[in-house]
Chains A and B, each alone.
Chain A
Amino acid sequence: MAGRRVLVVEDSEVAAQTLVDVLTRGGYEVRRVGTGAGAVKLAEAWGPSIVVVDRRLPDTDGLVLAGQIRKLPSGAQVRIVMVSGDPLPARRPKSLDAFVLKPASIRSLLAAVRGS
């Protein structure tokens, strides 16, 4: 089941809940947190295979969080998908596997999660 574990790191209640519902209906095991500090703790304890992270979080930058998750013992294997209203720099940071620009469709987000 660990391969179907998705951690959603998003402080917007509606966006997070919608993503949680859609992924759960798609057969994923999903947990959600709204802060970077909570995400690091949960990623370490729960071991998700996929992390969907918002760029702007109340307590940190999503890129910093992605780097922290990469440094966890199982962090190198995690698929990290960033969602942001701001475009990324021309060269995508190495910590990210996929990037989705807001406002995103559910289809583009799911494709990024699946890596398809």
Chain B
Amino acid sequence: MSLHTRLLAAADAAVHDAKSSAGSIRLVLTTLLDEEDDDREFLVSMLARADAETRRLAVQLDALPALVAALTDPSPSEQIDVAAATRRALSRARRSGIIVGGSVRGPMHVRGRFASTEKVIAVLIGLASGGAQPVRLTIGRRNGRVFIRLRSDATHTGNALCGHLIAAIGAEAMSAEGEIAFGWPMAS
């Protein structure tokens, strides 16, 4: 697939996810505007939903520069230590206020581009957090592959942008319900 096609597909996914979040927020707000009962519990739960979706939208937008950088990275694909990239991504995510649990032992070698991989893993941590929830990170080796799993109470598997981010760093999506997971073949 050409770079042009990949960029178009990624932009389409990003717009879809952003519109989906904006649509959800509008649905909540117009529900409240039409609400005639003085039901405080309903009001609070609706506002909490809009708040959570606003945070989710913010981390989706944060992911866009990392996606474009990874897709257009001119550096050659080479053997990299993905455990080291993940440690740096953890540090980056924590600096942006995301609570991330889990330890990373390494090295674990795969083929890729170190700088892009670090940035993309950091934004995937942000997406897994939904912008607010603590994330549990697991990294390991299994069946000749290195895998990373990200999970929080706010992780949505259906995010279209995630698939493009994972593909942009040469990984394959392995996500199950409520998690973002991906992996690479181990480099020999």
Measured CB to CB, the residues of A under 8 A from B are: 11-15, 17-19, 21-22, 34, 56, 58, 83, 85, 102-107, 109
Contacts and interface: CB of A to CB of B under 8 A. Distances in A.
Given A15-B23, A18-B46, A107 B30 contact: yes
A12 to B, nearest CB: 5
A56 B16 contact: yes
B19 A103 contact: yes
Contacts of B16: 56, 85
B94 interface: no
A3 to B, nearest CB: 23
B158 A109 contact: no
A85 B24 contact: no
A109 B23 CA distance: 12
B67 to A, nearest CB: 18
B23 A18 contact: no
Interface in B148-181: 156-158, 160
Nearest to B22: A103
Interface residues of B, number: 25
Nearest to B56: A14
A102 B22 CA distance: 9
A104 B24 CA distance: 9
A15 B30 contact: no
Contacts, number: 66
A103 B157 contact: no
Nearest to B19: A85
Nearest to A85: B19
A17 B19 contact: no
Interface in B32-49: 34, 42, 46, 49
Contact of B49 (A11, A17, A83, A103): A17
B72 interface: no
B158 A103 contact: no
B24 A34 contact: no
A14 B20 CA distance: 10
Contact of B28 (A11, A14, A102): A14
20 contacts: A12-B21, A12-B23, A14-B21, A14-B24, A14-B27, A14-B28, A14-B50, A14-B53, A18-B31, A58-B157, A85-B20, A85-B23, A102-B20, A103-B26, A103-B27, A105-B27, A106-B27, A106-B31, A107-B30, A107-B34
